[in-house]
Each structure stands twice: as structure tokens, then as C-alpha cells.
């Protein structure tokens, strides 16, 4: 707050009279939005030659292919038919993309406010086949918090970036650009394994990481934003039908589906919903915890939740919680373990993989949930781990400095088998 108040010193306010209301002309140095028009957004998707990883986000796996989001820019397609030598083969430009899911050979993504459907039938010719406009909230990319925001004019298009410059704007006298956020969301910056060299198969689903906001249950796709669950019928995968929105909670960050139950990780807890009737989710209960960023994975009757504090995530709390969901109406905390700064996590039978930020990747045997800290299987401390997908003995890990792939067929001897470096990494 002190930093924001100090910024008032750079604001020059000139009050001019109006017959009805006073107007204020403000002149200040701040974040000025850079727009992409809605017309340009609607024709922006295209496949190009491969690009280097620069700011990788969420990961997804289907058949022999890995899909890695380049935050708000597009998706890298990685041919992983040889896990020891993955090939970065192409890039799909998708402005504003943060999340994705795949059913058969159909890829679903967000593109700022739009929901976009792409065909992967020909992996070398990915094309947009449907676009639903105005599905998602109007969002703003990360900005320099040392400066206030200019007014956002949504009619101009979506905000794709910022430039620091002197801003002159006339507003009503109750407008304060340092505090007002316009009701918009501000982002904090988001089948079996087989050889299938022919491309993406037309059946089965892909697998996402624990940080995902998209999830598929049979013929229904769920996507979530801060407080709304968006529901799509994907019976006909290439022609989804939007059912509508469902108020699912608040400060929601992640989505995980286990059977006919939907687990939504929020900054204040885990919301549990019944999706036995896919179009009509039913709230069951919530496991409350202190404020913290919160992905969740579930295996059988146990949910594993990481809480990360600091920055936008709340207090300084950093831990792994184990929650019994044997009774969905009454989730109970049964154990908690200290962590350094955990992000995503993954579970495969009794093996838990935890991305503990600067402390790296940690692997535990969770056969006894009351003694997880006593059953460490491995620790890879020299990476800043963010999220993982464990699958059939292969672990896909996204980290600050690149994409890592491990073989854990022998859980007592986990081996790094390949890596794709991030360009201009901090490491």
C-alpha cells in the first residue's frame, strides 16, 4: 500500500467544471495498454515452424505428443515417440492461451475471452475449426506494479501487453486508476502410452498437469476461472456445445477430476462437487485451509494439496496437506508436511511427485500417509520445478529452465532421460 500511495506523487490532477458532474483530467506515468482488436484475434491462430521455449506454462500429453504452452503466445508441439530424444516439431500461435485439453484428435484452448477448437488430425496442419466468442472473462496480463494502470477500453479489443508512458485521461471524479480494476481478472503473471508416429489418435483423452483449469469427464469439458465453471458438451468433439456457467466458489485456481467428483483448488480451500449429472454440478463440501496457492490431486480416498504462500498467494505458509475424502461430505485433514515453496504435484499409485519450487522435485512413497516425510524416494534439488505429469513410468516436468523427462520404472533409481532447454533461462 505504501508503494501505491507513493505513486500518487507522480499524478497531476486537473479538475474541470461540468454542468452535471465534475470531470478529472489525470496526467501520470503508468501502464498503458497495448490492444489486439477482436477482428485480429478471430483470425490469429496459425501453425508455424518450431520455436524455442522462452516462458513455458502448462503441459499436456496425448499419444506420443507433448503440448507445452508458451504463456499467452501459443503451444509447442513435441514429438515424444522417442522419450530420450524428444523433437520440438512446430508451434501453434494462439494469442492469450493459458490452458488446454484434448479429446481424440480435437484440441480445446482459451484465447483471451474466446474458446477455440482445433483439429489435430494432421499434426503438421493444425487448423481452427470452431470459435466461441465471449466465453471467458476479460483478463489483463501481468503489469509493472511500480506504476498505476490506465483506463481499459474493452471496446478496442483485448490487452496483449503494456508500455510505460505518460498517460492523459479524462474520467469521472470517483475514478482512481491505482485502485480500480474494472471488475476484470488480473493474472499473477496458468489412453495408453504407445508408439503412434502417424499422429494424434481420434479416440481417448489426454493427460494434464495439476495446475490445469481445463478438465474432461467422458463427454463433458469443464473449464474454470476465478469463480465460474464453464460447461461444454463434447459428445461431438469437433462441435462442442456450450451449456453455460455454474457458480463454483471463489479464488479458484485449479481443477482436478476423479471419477464423478470434481475438485477445485482455491486460495482458501478445496471445493468438492458431484458431476454424476454432468450439466448440473452439485456442491458437496469444502476443505478449508489458510490462504495459499493450491493445486490438488486425488488418489482413491486421499487428496494431496500443496499450499504456497508469499506474493499473491497470501501468507508465508508452505506445506503439503493430506486430506481424507473417504466421506466426500466431510473431508478431514489427516497429515501436513512442511515444504519450501510448492507448486504442482502428481500421483501414480503410491508414488507422489511434488514440485517444491526452488527446492526442486521431491518424490515420496505415500503408502503410509502419516509418515510421508519418512519415506522420501528421491530429491532433485537443482531445478525450480513447477508442474508434473507422471504416466506409465515416464515423468514429464516443466521447470523454470526447461522441460525435463524422467524414467521412473525403477522407482529407486529415477533417471533423467532428456531435457529441452528454455532460451535465456535464469539458470
Q: Could you report the per-residue pLDDT of 194-241, keeping only the tens digit for each?
A: 333 346 777 777 899 888 999 999 999 999 998 899 999 999 999 999
Which strands form 345-348's sheet, in the order they lie side by side?
Answer: 345-348, 351-355, 361-365, 376-380
Q: What is the pLDDT of residue 412?
A: 94
Q: Return the C-alpha cell found at 166.
A: 505518460
In the predicted model, what is the mean pLDDT of the chain? Answer: 87
Task: Name the percent of the chain lying above pLDDT 70.
Answer: 84
Contacts with 82 (C-beta within 8 Å, 6 or more apart), sequence order? none
| Cα distance between residue 216 and residue 340, in whole Å | 31
| Cα distance between residue 77 and residue 50, in whole Å | 8
Is the pLDDT at 3 greater than 70? The verdict is no
Is the pLDDT at 95 greater than 50? The verdict is yes
Is the pLDDT at 418 greater than 70? The verdict is yes
Q: Could you report the per-residue pLDDT of 160-190, keeping only the tens digit for each?
A: 999 999 999 886 654 443 333 333 444 433 3
Reference 180, options 129, 219, 208, 140; nearest CA is 140
Is the pLDDT at 284 greater than 80? The verdict is yes
Q: What is the pLDDT of residue 311?
A: 58
Q: What is the dihedral of CA 392, 395, 396, 400, to 10 degrees?
A: 170
Q: Could you report the per-residue pLDDT of 314-339, keeping only the tens digit for each?
A: 567 899 999 999 999 999 999 999 99
Q: What is the pLDDT of residue 289?
A: 66
Which strands form 23-36's sheet, in the order they lie side by side?
Answer: 12-16, 23-36, 158-172
Q: Could you report the per-residue pLDDT of 52-68, keeping only the tens digit for each?
A: 999 999 999 999 999 99
Mean of the pLDDT values across residues 38-61? 96
Check: CB of residue 225 under 8 Å from CB of residue 213: yes
Amino acid at each position: 500500500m505504501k508503494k501505491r500511495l507513493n505513486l500518487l506523487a507522480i499524478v497531476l490532477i486537473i479538475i474541470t467544471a461540468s454542468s452535471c458532474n465534475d470531470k478529472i483530467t489525470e496526467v501520470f506515468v503508468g501502464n498503458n495498454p497495448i490492444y489486439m482488436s477482436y477482428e485480429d484475434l478471430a483470425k490469429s491462430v496459425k501453425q508455424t515452424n518450431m520455436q524455442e521455449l522462452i516462458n513455458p506454462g502448462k503441459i499436456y500429453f496425448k499419444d506420443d505428443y507433448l503440448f507445452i504452452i508458451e504463456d499467452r503466445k501459443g503451444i509447442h508441439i513435441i514429438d515424444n515417440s522417442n522419450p530420450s530424444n524428444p523433437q520440438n516439431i512446430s508451434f501453434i500461435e494462439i494469442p492469450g492461451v493459458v490452458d488446454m485439453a484434448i479429446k481424440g484428435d480435437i484440441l480445446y484452448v482459451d484465447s483471451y475471452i474466446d474458446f477455440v477448437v482445433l483439429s489435430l488430425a494432421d499434426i503438421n496442419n493444425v487448423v481452427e475449426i470452431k470459435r466461441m466468442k465471449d466465453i471467458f472473462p476479460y483478463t489483463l496480463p501481468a503489469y509493472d506494479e511500480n506504476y498505476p494502470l490506465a483506463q481499459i477500453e474493452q471496446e478496442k479489443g483485448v490487452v496483449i501487453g503494456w508500455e510505460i508512458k505518460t498517460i492523459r485521461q479524462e474520467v469521472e471524479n470517483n475514478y482512481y486508476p491505482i485502485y480500480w480494476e474494472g471488475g476484470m481478472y488480473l493474472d499473477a503473471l496458468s489412453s495408453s502410452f504407445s508408439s503412434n508416429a502417424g499422429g494424434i489418435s481420434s479416440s481417448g483423452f489426454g493427460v494434464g498437469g495439476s495446475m490445469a483449469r481445463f478438465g474432461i469427464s467422458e463427454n463433458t469439458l469443464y473449464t474454470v476461472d476465478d469463480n465460474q465453471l464453464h460447461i461444454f458438451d463434447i459428445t461431438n468433439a469437433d462441435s462442442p456445445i456450450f451449456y453455460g456457467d455454474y457458480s463454483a466458489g471463489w479464488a479458484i485456481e485449479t481443477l482436478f477430476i476423479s471419477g464423478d467428483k470434481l475438485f477445485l483448488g482455491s486460495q482458501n480451500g478445496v471445493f468438492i462437487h458431484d458431476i454424476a449429472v454432468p450439466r448440473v454440478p452439485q456442491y458437496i463440501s469444502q476443505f478449508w485451509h489458510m490462504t495459499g496457492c493450491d493445486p490438488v490431486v486425488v488418489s482413491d480416498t486421499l487428496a494431496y494439496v500443496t499450499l504456497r504462500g508469499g506474493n499473491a498467494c497470501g501468507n508465508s505458509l508452505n506445506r503439503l496437506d493430506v486430506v481424507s475424502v473417504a466421506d466426500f461430505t466431510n473431508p478431514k485433514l489427516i497429515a501436513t508436511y512442511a515444504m519450501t515453496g510448492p507448486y504442482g504435484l502428481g500421483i501414480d499409485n503410491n508414488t507422489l511427485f511434488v514440485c517444491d519450487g526452488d527446492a526442486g522435485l521431491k518424490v515420496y512413497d505415500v503408502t503410509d500417509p502419516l509418515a510421508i516425510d519418512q519415506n522420501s524416494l528421491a530429491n532433485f534439488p537443482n531445478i525450480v520445478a513447477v508442474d508434473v505429469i507422471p504416466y506409465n513410468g515416464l515423468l514429464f516436468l516443466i521447470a523454470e529452465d526447461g522441460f525435463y523427462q524422467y524414467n521412473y520404472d525403477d522407482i529407486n533409481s529415477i533417471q533423467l532421460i532428456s531435457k529441452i532447454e528454455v532460451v535465456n533461462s535464469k539458470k
